[in-house]
Amino acid sequence: MEKSLDVANKLCESTPTPQYSAAPDPNILKNLLPECEDSDFWMNFRKAAPIMFCVAVEGDKNLQMMRDMSFIEELLKTKSILTLMKEKLTTVAPDIDVIDYSLAAKMLEYKLQILNSLNVSVEEDGEDRVSFNLYGTNKSVVIDKEKLRAAITI
């Protein structure tokens, strides 16, 4: 907790924020999980970054192969872990560490969101471009793959 708070404090120091802020509302802890959920627009960071990274490495066959293998490996590993966790939870009196299972479930949920973002097929996508709708808006982003690859040096 302390390590994460240190990171948050350092980010606040280097980010233009108001000089004042209200004291944290202790009632947030009564509704903790919903308070920790991402806002609609924030979900774009989870969706856009993996897509843009994948497009960026398409020009290098070795990196493209590593990307594809990594996707398959992470998908299969995630599915295996979830299957095993589910089987363990459905046994009578499961012998589990609730905190480990909770943290693992959150980590796997995040991984699945990334895998799902990479698996989205948009009708307008093709060899030349990729697009995705922006959460929380009525807009979309269209990326010219060739221009993106030209703008990135690996």
Q: Is residue 30 part of a domain?
A: no
Q: Is residue 147 part of a domain?
A: yes
Q: How deeply is 82 buried, as exposed, middle or buried, from its count of CB atoms within 10 A (0-12, 13-18, 19+)?
A: middle
Which residue spans within the chain are E strands per DSSP?
A: 129-133, 140-144
d(CA 33, CA 105): 13
Q: Is the pLDDT of residue 125 over 70?
A: no
Q: Is residue 61 part of a domain?
A: yes
* Tens digit of each residue's pLDDT (9 = 90 or more) over 63-83: 889 988 988 999 999 999 999
Q: Residue 90 is encoded by which pair of tokens?
A: 């459905």
Domain residues for the domain of 69 are: 44-151
* Tens digit of each residue's pLDDT (9 = 90 or more) over 16-48: 877 777 788 888 888 877 887 878 888 888 778
Q: Is residue 126 part of a domain?
A: yes
Q: Residue 100 is encoded by which pair of tokens?
A: 């480990």
Q: Is residue 101 part of a domain?
A: yes
Q: Is residue 18 part of a domain?
A: no
Degrees, nearest 5: CA angle 51-53-57: 120
Give how many domains the chain has, as a whole number.
Answer: 1
